[in-house]
Structure 1
Amino acid sequence: MTKLATSVGLLAAILAVSAAARTIQVRTLDQAGAEKVLQAAKALAEQRKAPSAVAVVDPAGDLLAFTRMDGVRPASAELAIEKARTAARLQRPTAEIEDNINQGRTAFVTAGIMSLRGGMPVRVNGEVVGAVGIAGMSKETDTEIAKDAAAAVGTAAKTPDHS
């Protein structure tokens, strides 16, 4: 019986170590980081006199922060959220997706993702920690604001503590 208990204990220890070895740490924007990106985007839009809807999401595309400035079209709210979600999940700017479609990669049209310019991943040390989506006056302005706002975050990401 002692031999059996020892074997079971040893097996449990091996499985526990094996399970721990398969975990990874994921960095994500915290609320302060999301607000920093949101405020940067809002300030950039105000400077350009380009009312916009601004959405900031985590790496999974879940909404962290949102604002819709006065004078922006009502549909821009949903567009901003979807642009941010797509940039986060695909880990690349939505401008690349739009360019791919324009160059003949039409399968993206049926993929159920936002393929309009204005979504930009937020990166810290090269790692996607979230994304920002801008929907306002023009695709060029949306892209510029998203790019500059994504760069504003610096080191405002954190590694979740699962202790």
Structure 2
Amino acid sequence: MQSKAILGQEDVTRILAAARAEAQKNNWAVGIAVVDDGGHLLAFERLDGAAASTAYIAPGKARTSALGRKESVVFEEMVNNGRTAFLSGNLMTCLEGAVPLIHEGQVIGAVGVSGVKPAEDAQVAKAGAAALA
């Protein structure tokens, strides 16, 4: 039998706090989602001023990153380079702004952000992911 690491509530709280701090430092109104390795939502936070749509987009980006085991920008680039069939996958949100959470070489979840420019969403997500180190 194999075992795997999982995100605990303390981990999720730390990830959200780090992502929130990065967003607030830059005055960015965003939604922040943390999911497990199966793409299931563990936590979501919508900062003051963030659009209601971030409640859908951030978890979608995070789910894409967790299930795809890569940053969501990789899937956006695939679509932009002509692989439009990827858009038919109902589990994928092919937009930049999510990164996988990796522990000992294994993806244990992801953090997704929505609300500002794509690279800025990714910056906030990466700040959250760095809280696991």
The bucket for the TM-score relative to the shorter chain is over 0.9
Which of the two has greater helix per residue?
1
Take 1:110 and 1:24, find their aligned partners in 2: how far apart are those partners? 34
Aligned length: 132
Determine which of 131, 136, 156 is the counterpart of 2:115: 136
Superposed structure 1 runs of 4+ greater than 2 Å apart:
none
Q: CA RMSD in A?
A: 1.0
Q: 1:78-117 counterparts in 2 under 5 A?
A: 78-112=56-90, 113-117=92-96
Bigger CA radius of gyration? 1
Q: 1:22-37 counterparts in 2 under 5 A?
A: 23-37=1-15
Share of identical aligned residues, percent? 37
Take 2:69 and 2:58, find their aligned partners in 1: how far apart are those partners? 16
Take 1:133 and 1:150, find their aligned partners in 2: how far apart are those partners? 10
Determine which of 44, 49, 65 is the counterpart of 1:71: 49
Q: TM-score scaled by structure 1?
A: 0.78
**Letter in structure 1 aligned against 2:47:** M
Point out where structure 2 has 5 or more consecutive residues left out of the alignment: none
1:53 alignment partner in structure 2:
31
Point out where structure 1 has 5 or more consecutive residues left out of the alignment: 1-22, 155-163
Q: 1:6-25 counterparts in 2 under 5 A?
A: 23-25=1-3
Take 1:24 and 1:86, find their aligned partners in 2: how far apart are those partners? 25
Take 1:78 and 1:132, find their aligned partners in 2: how far apart are those partners? 13
Take 2:123 and 2:77, find their aligned partners in 1: how far apart are those partners? 16
